[in-house]
Structures are given as structure tokens and as C-alpha cells.
Amino acid sequence: MSSSESGMSKDPAVPHPVAIAIACFLAISMYNVVELIFIIIVTFKKRNSLYFWSFMVATVGIAIHAIGFLLRDFQITKSRFLYVTFMSLGWYAMVTGQSVVLFSRLHLVLYNRNWLRAVRVLIITNAIVCHIPTTVMTYGASSSDPEPFLGIYSIYERVQVTIFFFQEVVISGLYVHEAMKFLQIRAIRGEKTNHNMMRHLISSNIFVIMLDVTILALEFSNLYDLQTSYKGAAYSMKLKLEFSVLNRLVKVVQPPRSTYCNHTNDLDGTIQLESVDSRNKIGRSIADKMQSGYEAHVKAGGARYFGDCPDLDVPKKSLLRTTEIFVTEHGKSIPWQRPTNGA
């Protein structure tokens, strides 16, 4: 198989019309990356969640991926090791990062731990099976003697693109299925926003699947240069759409917040209640007493169907909402003083 068919060669040369299209796709990718980073910085107030870091890694990965192909396709550098490294690292973060983003919000609507564990294993397995062999063949196809690697690289490139396509379809399918079940239960209340959310959820995922199908079509059409540059633009659009869908779903899933709340988390549904101070009023002969402070945090554990609980004899479409309450105590030693009347 020729280097043009496989998409890799020792010294790649891109025709002028194709170069214009590549430049447009790379520009779209970088523009969306800048916008996504701004959205992340402004929106996320708590930055220690899997969703935040996977979103950040996937976004930065798009930029690194675009830089790698910019260096290669326009021959800005002759260092094959440099641009292949950028291409590979960006690809890891962009593709697997996107799947981790999808996985990190599954818990909002899916409460079966076995399914969540299976999805986690799927992501890790596909990352190992697809990333490592493809990286070895990419370096080989870009080496001074690429011929032994070009044929196998072309075949495995199509295999890994197809695997990642079905991986994202599976995760998105689980998400849509469980979200639709949840929203249908909520729709019984007659809330108009639920119907709007269902339409938005379905249309958004159809659009995402269409983007993935176009990536597959370009790959199987032997348009490697266009496919690799278009992939970054497609993944950046998917991330923007993903963020929009999640924000709307969180507003539906989260229960109404108490008027006594003075602090809320941004995306995980945690509510911090007012601190409660208490003083020990027992044993007043002791010179020093402890002033104890308690902080209560309420976290919406989500909702699950009674149909998933075989031990409960209730209608199948009933809904169970769980709430987790965390109480922490902190204190300091202060002298106790007897209350006095008057001066």
C-alpha cells in the first residue's frame, strides 16, 4: 500500500486545495479550544472532580493534536519525532479524554455499579489496545524506512477509529437511555422543561453520532489528511455540545435547594448547610470547655427506579431519590464563663 493511501510517509506533501481545508479545520479546532478553556475557567468553581479534569485534558489534547498535524502537514519542522509525539499525545488526550468525559457524567442517571464498572473497563481496555499499537506503527511509518509499517498502519488505523466510534456510541447510548427513563418519570409532573430537555438530549446525541460517522467516512475514503484535521474540529464541537447537555441535565436532576443553604457546588450537587455552633453545658466545674462547630453537607445522591430494587414491593416506575449527609466537627478550647445578669 502506498504512503498516500495510508496517510503516512517519510516526507508528507499536502496538495494546495487540501491544505486550505486542513487549515480551516485546524483553525476551527484552535478557536473552539480557546473558547472551551475560557468556559472551563469561568464555570468550574470546584476543580477536583473527574469531570473537570477529563474535560480539561480532552480540551488541551485537541490543541496538541492540532499543533502536531500543523507541523507535519505544512512541513514547519523536519523533525518527524517532534510532530509524531505531538500527534500521539494529543490523540490520547482528545479521544480517550472524550470517552472519560462521557463516563464521568453517567452516574447522574445510571446507578448500576456493574454497568459503570463495565464502562470503565471498556475505556481502559480500548485505550491499551488502540493507543499503544497505533503509536508504535505511527513512529515506524514516519521513520527513515516506513515501508514495513505503512500497510499494517493503514489497516489498524481503520480498526482503532471504528473501535473508538462504537465505544462512544455505547456510552452515549447508555446515557440517553437512562436519562430518557429518568426524564419520563419527571415528565409525569407536567413540567414543560422536561419535554424540552428530552428533545435537546436526543437531537444533540444524533448530531454527535453524525460527527463520528463523518470521521469514519473520511477514514474509509482514504482521505487521511482531511480526516485527521477534521477529527480535532469534530471533537471540539462534541465537547461544546456535551457541556451544554450536561448543564441542562444537572438542573433537572438536582432537587430544589433549601433556603438555608449558604454555599453550593457547581456540578456535583453538593450543598453546604449553615455551620452550627454549640457549647458544652455539662460539667461547669471544669475550667475550660470545648466550643464545637459542625458543618453539614447534603449531597443529592440522584434517583433510581424501584424496579431496580427487587426487594421492594412497589410499582416498577416509582422513583427513589437518595440523599447523602456528611457532618464534620471542628472545635477549639475556650474558657467557659458563667452567664451573669446585669453589669
Cell 498502519 locates to: 153
Rounded-to-integer distance, Cα 241 and Cα 200, Å: 10
What is the DSSP-derived secondary structure letter of residue 311? T
Cell 471504528 locates to: 162
Rounded-to-integer distance, Cα 306 and Cα 310, Å: 8
328 Cβ neighbours under 8 A, 6+ residues apart: 294, 295, 297
Angle at 166 between CA 66 and CA 224, to 5 degrees: 35
What is the DSSP-derived secondary structure letter of residue 144? S
- Look at residues 268, 254, 109 and name the one whose alpha carbon lies nearest to residue 182: 109
pLDDT of residue 93: 97
pLDDT of residue 14: 76
- Would you tell me which CATH number, out of the four given (3.40.50, 1.20.1070, 1.10.1410, 2.60.40), belongs to the domain 3-253? 1.20.1070
Q: CA 144, 150, 156, 162: dihedral to nearest 10 degrees?
A: 110
Rounded-to-integer distance, Cα 180 and Cα 104, Å: 18
Rounded-to-integer distance, Cα 10 and Cα 238, Å: 32
Bridge partners of residue 331, in order along the sequence: 292
C-alpha cell, 149: 509499517
Mapping DSSP onto H, E and C, the string for 187-212 reads: HCCCCHHHHHHHHHHHHHHHHHHHHH
pLDDT of residue 59: 96
- Look at residues 205, 207, 206, 183 and name the one whose alpha carbon lies nearest to residue 196: 183
Rounded-to-integer distance, Cα 8 and Cα 139, Å: 10
pLDDT of residue 186: 67
Bridge partners of residue 268, in order along the sequence: none
Residue 4: Cβ-neighbour burial (10 angstroms; 0-12, 13-18, 19+): middle
137 Cβ neighbours under 8 A, 6+ residues apart: 149, 152, 153, 156
| Domain boundaries for CATH 1.20.1070 within the chain | 3-253
**Integer angstrom CA distances of residue 38 from 34, 42, 99:** 6, 6, 21
pLDDT of residue 38: 93
Cell 462547630 locates to: 293
Q: Are strands 288-305 and 319-335 parallel, antiparallel or unpaired?
A: antiparallel
Answering whether pTM is above 0.85, one says no
pLDDT one digit per residue (tens) for the chain, 343 residues: 444 445 555 556 678 888 999 999 999 999 999 999 999 998 888 888 899 999 999 999 999 999 999 999 888 988 999 999 999 999 999 999 999 999 998 888 888 899 999 999 999 999 999 999 999 999 999 888 888 898 899 999 999 999 999 999 999 889 888 888 877 776 666 655 566 777 788 888 889 999 999 999 999 998 988 999 999 999 999 999 988 887 777 766 665 544 343 444 444 444 344 444 444 444 444 344 444 444 544 454 554 444 444 444 445 445 555 555 555 555 544 444 444 444 4
What is the DSSP-derived secondary structure letter of residue 310? T
44-69 burial, b at 16+ Cβ within 10 Å, e below that, comes to beeeeeebbbbbbbbbbbbbbbbbbb
Residue 185 dihedral angles phi and psi, to the nearest 5° = -65, -45
Rounded-to-integer distance, Cα 126 and Cα 94, Å: 14
pLDDT of residue 322: 55
Residue 197 dihedral angles phi and psi, to the nearest 5° = -65, -40
